[in-house]
Amino acid sequence: MASIDHTHDPSLQSWVQSANDPISDFPIQNLPFGVFLNTEGQRHIGVAIGDQILDVHAAVEARALADLDAESACSLSATELNSFMGQGQATWKHVRASLSSLLSASHDPRPELLVPMEGTSMVLPAIIGDYTDFYASRHHATNLGKMFRPDGDALLPNYLHLPVGYHGRASSIVVSETPIRRPQGQLKPEDGPPTFGSCRLLDYELEFAAFVGTGNAIGSPIEMPNAMDHIFGLVILNDWSARDIQKWEYQPLGPFNGKNFASSISPWVVTMEALAPYRKAGPRRQEGDPKVLSYLQPVTEDALDVTCEVWLRSHQMREKGIDAMRLSHGSLEDLTWTFAQMLTHHTSSGCPMRPGDLLGSGTVSGTTKDAWGSMLELAWRGTEPIDLPDGTQRKLLQDGDEVTIKAWCDSEGAARVGLGCCRGVILPALS
């Protein structure tokens, strides 16, 4: 059972008034961590509260956080979250309680510790040593199977037995708002030899990613009963995909240059502690599915009830003042494999994880078209173009397109908790 305590109380208010707005992504019940640049260009750990950032570095120096031990104070004064992530659940819980106390309406206001979000630059919250991307939504996998294997089984034989994944490229993960350059690569026309040129079939992928907190020693797997205790928190992930480059290169070893040019993440890491009210039993299996092997059997509440949306705004729409168009509306609950199962399977071979490693979910798609998480699916491989409000159509992304992914949790008896957004604009390929 996920641990709920006084920091989750939906009636809790903050002296930061913007955090008390019922539609705020960052109420006092959330308290996500990120890293921002202060006015001197220095990297400081921060916590989002309403439309403000609590400068945690400044709070540590001012001794504003109650009962903070030396190791925690040192890790929170660092320029990235890796050290704090590695301290473990007891420390995370204690620091959350201290932050909640400091920001509570019952505490004397400390406005000198705040920085306005607007105009403040965010950077990657952690040094990402390794990045693995999974393929955890059966609905997405089924859609692609129907497209590319119309005469065969939509799902490959291993799909319902284990969480399928590949090792991605950590160096090309960027924070939200970073422009995305259209990649170049080898392209294979239907007739003729391959050529080298600009990607023509650029797509987004609606995903989430979990930051590993405490790791494991090589040869010592993380087991399901403890898996969620090793996960620090969640971010939104847009795994940009060059479909034409990927199609030509991916056999026999899987994704390569079609995936390694850029992946965007939202700047605020929403902790598993903040998401505790939204953890559920799962994931759901369908009638006739094979039984999950014992080492992957869920033991704790591992499924996450997170709502997500994808919005698109073309360059022409921005010029004309036309609002972004919602492309899809889905849920993280639609995953066939949870992050706990991904982490457990990943380490079952003895693979070591380290604080700050990132696990991507793969494209999150639901059962209906309005819940599909990529344009490849929504336009059904280009046969059903999407009409935009500016009079143009999209089969895949064009230069100047702005893709925004938003996510939040909202249910009766709990405070609304948001993950913010993940945004990127497509730039033309280098000439």
On whether both 372 and 399 belong to a single domain, the answer is yes
**224 plus 307 within the same structural domain:** yes
Quick check: 269 and 92 in contact, CB under 8 A? Answer: no
Say if residue 42 is in the same domain as residue 109. Answer: yes
Q: Are residues 109 and 136 in the same domain?
A: no
Any long-range contacts for 163-167 (C-beta under 8 Å, 24+ apart)? 163/134, 163/135, 163/136, 163/337, 163/341, 163/342, 163/345, 164/134, 164/135, 165/132, 165/133, 165/134, 165/135, 165/342, 165/346, 165/362, 166/132, 166/133, 166/254, 166/255, 167/130, 167/131, 167/132
- What is the CB-side half-sphere exposure of residue 80 using CA atoms within 13 A? 14
Radius of gyration of the chain (CA): 22
Domain membership of residue 328 (yes or no) is yes
- In the chain, the amino acid numbered 407 is A
Q: Do residues 105 and 148 share a domain?
A: no
pLDDT (tens place) for every residue of the chain, 431 residues total: 468 999 999 999 999 999 999 999 999 999 999 999 999 999 999 999 999 999 999 999 999 999 999 999 999 999 999 999 999 999 999 999 999 999 999 999 999 999 999 999 999 999 999 999 999 999 999 999 999 998 889 999 999 999 999 999 999 999 999 999 999 999 999 999 999 999 999 999 999 999 999 999 999 999 999 999 999 999 999 999 999 999 999 989 999 999 999 999 999 999 999 999 999 999 989 999 999 999 999 999 999 999 999 999 999 999 999 999 999 999 999 999 999 999 999 999 999 999 999 999 999 999 999 999 999 999 999 999 999 999 999 999 999 999 999 999 999 999 999 999 999 999 999 98
Residue 214 · residue 250 · CB < 8 Å: no
Query: What's the CATH number where 169 sits?
Result: 3.90.850.10
CB within 8 A of 35, min separation 6: which ones? 43, 44, 45, 46, 79, 80, 81, 122, 123, 124, 125, 126, 267
Same structural domain, 143 and 104: no
pLDDT of residue 3: 84
Q: 103, 123, 143 — which closes off a domain?
A: 123
Task: Examine the domain organization and report whether 186 and 273 are in the same domain.
Answer: yes
User: How far is the C-alpha of 170 from the C-alpha of 182, rounded, in Å?
Assistant: 18
- Number of domains into which the chain is organized: 2
290 and 236 in one domain? yes
Closest CA to 139 of 332, 366, 376, 303: 366
- Whether residue 1 is contained in a domain is answered as no
End-of-domain residue from the set 67, 94, 123:
123
- Give domain status of residue 56, yes or no: yes
**Helices assigned H by DSSP within 86-159:** 89-103, 138-148
Q: Is residue 16 part of a domain?
A: yes
Torsion of CA 287, 288, 294, 295, to 10 degrees: -80
Q: What are the pLDDT digits (tens) for 304-341? A: 999 999 999 999 999 999 999 999 999 999 999 999 99
Q: Of 99, 123, 147, which residue is a domain's last? A: 123
User: So what's the pLDDT on residue 2?
Assistant: 66
Show Cβ contacts of residue 346 under 8 Å, excluding neighbours closer than 6 positions: 132, 165, 353, 359
**Vertex 95: Cα angle to 224 and 124 (nearest 5):** 75
Do 88 and 137 lie in one domain? The reply is: no
**Neighbouring C-beta atoms of residue 46, cutoff 10 Å:** 30
Which whole-number Å values give the CA distances from 199 to 36, 67, 242, in the listed order? 33, 54, 6
Shared domain check, 138 and 90: no
Active site residues: 140
* 270 and 216 within one domain: yes
Query: What CATH number does the domain containing 10 carry?
Result: 2.30.30.230
Tell whether 118 and 141 lie within a shared domain: no
**Structural domain boundaries enclosing 271:** 131-427
Q: Is residue 80 part of a domain?
A: yes
